[in-house]
Structures are given as structure tokens and as C-alpha cells.
């Protein structure tokens, strides 16, 4: 019999004694294991039950040449039930040591689940601190749609990037990796001298240090630089990022004073300049259209061309691969910035609700075009209906393949109906209720769910209530209908 079982037997004997004597109180807690997932319809094992994280304190030491990471994660969480054990999501890497409330904890690993058994059961409502030392060569995760996320090295030992939509963040830190559990973050990254480390939020300090033999020393001639980043606003873990590279960093402010921090791979810097120059204006425009910008800073990370096959709306600082150029590059950056309101601040309750991210961000591109002398949102809508790729190159996609609010499976959450037809749903609402009510709806949605989570059902109920219109037909045909919708 292991110690754990003995201890539990002893605990129940004490509980029985209390029951016999009518004695109450005392420190005896009888916990149950927390669930190994939050039963997301598409990623049932993503996230974990029994607790909510309040804060992540990540301390990452990375050697870009050897590709090795050594890290400590301190996770402050609140127990939502009495816990005898709880899970974190982690893929690959070796776990060296785990403590809970300062005491050594037992742990084991099965698949992407790290199960932690604290020395003492945790009380319901208790705020507890878990410290995990881990490291190794992080691996990427392949998504159901075939794309790569997780920890991705840049070509030629130039650095690496950590990205996590939908479930890749578990490849670089243990956590409650589901968007329904948002938390604040401190991310400290130690890299060899000469490299930049960029993450979410604001840079609190940047310190040069002599080497101390850590993983980052190998490539830096012993010298290291420590970057301390803070995200004071809640963040879903899929939006966390770290980019390590020899970036060209630029800082500034938007016209209304929001700090801007951009990091661009040297080879992409010249070509990126024109679109990057418009980033402050895009953020201001978004504030006008969608309401106050939801975070304390903004920016962009431009990786070498080909690093990722997609862009990602990582919080405050989206990641793109290759310089954004021309109208297409402008629309891409605008799309990722629009996600700061829709996706990052208002996050989906489940991965099935993705159209709330992508439909809104695509609609934002249409609106930006409308407000800057390009085709209007209505013209984009018409182009999609007609498959007219002159107006919008994406209009030729199979936006009618499935209803945006009911993607058939996990590989479809990045499918074109989620983007294009999601945006068409918004234009359909605008047609029904008129501009004034429509923009009040969009701003109200961003304001009322700011820094929270929402589902499709929350949105449809909210839209009806806010506009006072019966929109059932729009939902039935455009949001949930299996048929290809006809022109309204
Ligand atoms: N969200 C990204 C964008 O705005 C695209 C994306 C990357 C994505 N990885 C994903 C979408 C995984 C769904 C799932 O363009
Ligand atoms: Zn998007």
C-alpha cells in the first residue's frame, strides 16, 4: 500500500472519529481528483476541472542554438472543489519537480495530462500555488487541420516562437489550456546576449547578466539577457506567445497613447515598414468602431517568411510570418488587431464558437475597407454570394460548406465558412437592424463581455435583446443552416 492510501485511510478514520464524537472543524479535507478535461466538444481533454488559474508566472531559459528550454512555471489557482489531485496539460518535455504550497508533490504523466497529487488535499475555495520545474527540447503539436503550433524553431538557430491555437501552448508550458480559463501572466525569458525575447503585454525590465551556466549561455558567450513581460489583463493560454530572435525592435505610441512594441525579423524589416507604420492608426480605428482598445499595449511580431503557415492574434502582439505588404498585408494585420477585441478580450467559451473570433475579425477587414475607400462590407457580402474574386480573393472559397456555428469537427474550426460566412452573418444582422443598432450591438458585445468568455447562444440572445429585432431567420439560415444560403 502506498503512502498516499495510508494517509487517506488515516484521514477517513479521523473523520469517522469526528462524526462519532460530534466534533466538527479541524483540518481534514477529503478531496476528489479534478477532471482531466473541460469536455470541449472538439478538444475534450483540453483544460482541466476542479480549479481556475489566477496567474501564471513563467520563467523560461532558452538556448536557440541547442534548441533546449529550461523553465519554471508557478501557477496560482483557486480550487473549485476539494481536490485530492488535479491535472495540468503538458506535451513533451521532462518534469523534474513539482511542489504545491511549498511541499513536494507526487506527479505522473499520461499522454498530455500531468497529474499532480499535493501532499495535502486542497480545500474548496483555497488559492494554491503550484511550482513546476521542467525542460528539454520542446516539440511542435500538429493540429487536426495539419498546421503546426507549439514551440517552433526559426530556421538556422535564429530563435523560436511559442504559439498555441488551439492547444499548442501545452508544448511550452504546463497549464489549464482551454480558453474558458483566463489568467494574468508574468513571462520572464532568458536568452543569450544578442537575442531579443518578445512576449505579451508590457516589458517591465530588460537586464543583461553574466552567464551562470544556464541553458541560454551556450550561444551567448556566457552573457545573457533577461526580459520580463507582464500581461495584467486576463489572457486565454492559446494567446500567449514568446518569440526569441535577432529582431529589430521598435517602440512608440498610438495617437491616444497606447504603447506599441514591434519586433521584426531583420530580413523582413524593410518590406514591413509601410504596413507597420499604419498599425497605430489601425488600433485607433478599431477603438472608434468597436469601443476602447481592451489592453495596455499593442504591437506585432514579424517572423521570417515561412516560419508559420498562418498568422495568430497573440494577445497585444500578433504573430505573422513574412513581411505584410500591400493591401493583403494590411488586411492581415488589421484582422489580427481586430481579434484583440474579438477573440482575445471576448474569448470563445468553446472551440465550437470560433466564428465569434473569425467572423468578427473578417468583418473588421470589410469595415476597414469600407472606411478607407475600398469595397463596402455589403460589396464584400455580395462578392461572397457571387463568388466574385475581383472584389475579394477569398470570395471564391467554399464559405457554404458547413454552417459557421456548427463546424463538423475540430479540423473545421479554421475552415472558410467560419471566416467568410461568419462575417456574412454580421452583415445580415446589419441589413436587418440598420447601421445605428448594428454598431451599438458590436460595441455593446465587446464592452459587456470584455475580458470574458462568450458562446454563440450568448451572442444570439444578446443581439436580439440589444437590437429589439427577431433575428431567428438569420440564425436559422446563415448561422446554423446546412444549405447554401440564397441572396436575402
Ligand atoms: N486565428 C488565426 C487567424 O486569425 C488562424 C489560426 C491559426 C487558427 N491557428 C488556428 C484558427 C487554429 C483556428 C484554429 O488568422
Ligand atoms: Zn483570425
Residue 181 maps to which CATH number? 2.60.40.1730
Q: Is the pLDDT of residue 357 over 80?
A: yes
- The H or E element that residue 242 is part of is strand 242-245
User: To the nearest whole number, what is the mean pLDDT of the chain?
Assistant: 93
In a domain, 126, yes or no: yes
Q: What is the pLDDT of residues 363-375, one digit of tens each?
A: 999 999 999 999 9
* Long-range contacts of 210-214, Cβ-Cβ distance < 8 Å, separation of 24 or more: 214/61, 214/70, 214/190
Ligand 1 atom 12: residue of nearest CA: 165
* CA 311 distance to own-chain centroid: 13
Domain finish residue from 171, 204, 238: 238
Model confidence band, residue 262 (pLDDT cutoffs 50, 70, 90): very high
> Rounded to the nearest whole angstrom, what is the distance from the C-alpha of residue 58 to the centroid of ligand 2?
26
DSSP SS3 for 428: helix
The stretch 70-95 carries a mean pLDDT of 98
DSSP SS3 for 311: coil
Helices of type H across 217-294:
269-276, 279-290
In a domain, 85, yes or no: yes
Q: Which ligand is nearest to the CA of 348?
A: 1
In a domain, 43, yes or no: yes
Mutate to test the pocket of ligand 1, among 414, 417, 420 (most ligand atoms within 8 A of CB): 414
> What pLDDT was estimated at residue 216?
64
Close Cβ partners of 115 (under 8 Å, ≥ 6 residues apart): 33, 36, 85, 86, 87, 107, 108, 109
* CA–CA distance, 412 with 433 (Å, rounded to integer): 30
> What pLDDT was estimated at residue 372?
97
Query: Same domain for 84 and 222?
Result: yes
Q: Is the pLDDT of residue 83 over 70?
A: yes
> What pLDDT was estimated at residue 417?
97
> What pLDDT was estimated at residue 215?
67
In a domain, 413, yes or no: yes
Mutate to test the pocket of ligand 1, among 146, 165, 410 (most ligand atoms within 8 A of CB): 165
Looking at the chain, the whole-number percentage of residues with pLDDT higher than 90 is: 90
Helices of type H across 391-421:
416
In a domain, 284, yes or no: no
> What pLDDT was estimated at residue 157?
86
The stretch 27-44 carries a mean pLDDT of 93
Query: Same domain for 142 and 11?
Result: yes
> What pLDDT was estimated at residue 213?
67
> What pLDDT was estimated at residue 3?
40
> What pLDDT was estimated at residue 17?
41
> What pLDDT was estimated at residue 210?
84
> What pLDDT was estimated at residue 220?
61
Residues lining ligand 1, Cβ inside 6 A: 143, 147, 165-166, 310-313, 335, 339, 354, 361, 413-414
- The H or E element that residue 363 is part of is helix 355-371
Q: Is the pLDDT of residue 172 over 70?
A: yes
Domain containing 403 — which CATH number?
1.10.390.10
Domain finish residue from 220, 238, 256: 238
Q: Is 70 exposed, middle or buried (0-12, 13-18, 19+ CB in 10 A)?
A: buried
- Number of structural domains (the chain) is 2
> What pLDDT was estimated at residue 356?
98
Q: Is the pLDDT of residue 16 over 90?
A: no
State the pTM of this model.
0.93
Task: Identify the domain containing residue 102 by its residue range.
Answer: 3-238
Domain finish residue from 238, 254, 288: 238
Amino acid at each position: 500500500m502506498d503512502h498516499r492510501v495510508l494517509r487517506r485511510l488515516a484521514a477517513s478514520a479521523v473523520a469517522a472519529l469526528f462524526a462519532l464524537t460530534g466534533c466538527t472543524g479541524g483540518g481534514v479535507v477529503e478531496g476528489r481528483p479534478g477532471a482531466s478535461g473541460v469536455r470541449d466538444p472538439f478538444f475534450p481533454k483540453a483544460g482541466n476541472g476542479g480549479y481556475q488559474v489566477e496567474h501564471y508566472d513563467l520563467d523560461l531559459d532558452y538556448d536557440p542554438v541547442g534548441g533546449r528550454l529550461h523553465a519554471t512555471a508557478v501557477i496560482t489557482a483557486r480550487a473549485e472543489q476539494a481536490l485530492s489531485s488535479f491535472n495540468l496539460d503538458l506535451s513533451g518535455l521532462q518534469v523534474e519537480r513539482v511542489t504545491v504550497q511549498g511541499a513536494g508533490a507526487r506527479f505522473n504523466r499520461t499522454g498530455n495530462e500531468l497529474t499532480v497529487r499535493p501532499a495535502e488535499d486542497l480545500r474548496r475555495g483555497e488559492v494554491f500555488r503550484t511550482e513546476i520545474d521542467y525542460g528539454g527540447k520542446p516539440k511542435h503539436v500538429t493540429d487536426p487541420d495539419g498546421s503546426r503550433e507549439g514551440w517552433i524553431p526559426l530556421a538556422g538557430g535564429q530563435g523560436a516562437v511559442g504559439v498555441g491555437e488551439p492547444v499548442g501552448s501545452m508544448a511550452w508550458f504546463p497549464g489549464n489550456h482551454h480558453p474558458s480559463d483566463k489568467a494574468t501572466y508574468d513571462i520572464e525569458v532568458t536568452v543569450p546576449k544578442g537575442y531579443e525575447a518578445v512576449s505579451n503585454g508590457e516589458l517591465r525590465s530588460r537586464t543583461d547578466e553574466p552567464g551562470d551556466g544556464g541553458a541560454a549561455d551556450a550561444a551567448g558567450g556566457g552573457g545573457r539577457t533577461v526580459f520580463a513581460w507582464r500581461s495584467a489583463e486576463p489572457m486565454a493560454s492559446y494567446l500567449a506567445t514568446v518569440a526569441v530572435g535577432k529582431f529589430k525592435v521598435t517602440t512608440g505610441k498610438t495617437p491616444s497613447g497606447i504603447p506599441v512594441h514591434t519586433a521584426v525579423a531583420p530580413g523582413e524589416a524593410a518590406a514591413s515598414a509601410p504596413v507597420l507604420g499604419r498599425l497605430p492608426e489601425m488600433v485607433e480605428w478599431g477603438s472608434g468602431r468597436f469601443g476602447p482598445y481592451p489592453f495596455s499595449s499593442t504591437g506585432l511580431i514579424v517572423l521570417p517568411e515561412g516560419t508559420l503557415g498562418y498568422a495568430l492574434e497573440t494577445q497585444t502582439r500578433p504573430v505573422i510570418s513574412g513581411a505584410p505588404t500591400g493591401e493583403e498585408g494590411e488586411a492581415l494585420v488589421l484582422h489580427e488587431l481586430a481579434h484583440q477585441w474579438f477573440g482575445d478580450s471576448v474569448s470563445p467559451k468553446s472551440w465550437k464558437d470560433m466564428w465569434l473570433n473569425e467572423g468578427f475579425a473578417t468583418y473588421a477587414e470589410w469595415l476597414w475597407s469600407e472606411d478607407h475607400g475600398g469595397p463596402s462590407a455589403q460589396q464584400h457580402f455580395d462578392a461572397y454570394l457571387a463568388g466574385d474574386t475581383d472584389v475579394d480573393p477569398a470570395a471564391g472559397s467554399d464559405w457554404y460548406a458547413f454552417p459557421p456555428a456548427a463546424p463538423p469537427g475540430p479540423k473545421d474550426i479554421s475552415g472558410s465558412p467560419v471566416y467568410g460566412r461568419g462575417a456574412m452573418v454580421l452583415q445580415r444582422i446589419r441589413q436587418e437592424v440598420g447601421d445605428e443598432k448594428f454598431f451599438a450591438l458590436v460595441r455593446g458585445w465587446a464592452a459587456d463581455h470584455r475580458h470574458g468568455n462568450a458562446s454563440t447562444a450568448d451572442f444570439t440572445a444578446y443581439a436580439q435583446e440589444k437590437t429589439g429585432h427577431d433575428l431567428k431567420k438569420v440564425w436559422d439560415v446563415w448561422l446554423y443552416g446546412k444549405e447554401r444560403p440564397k441572396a436575402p
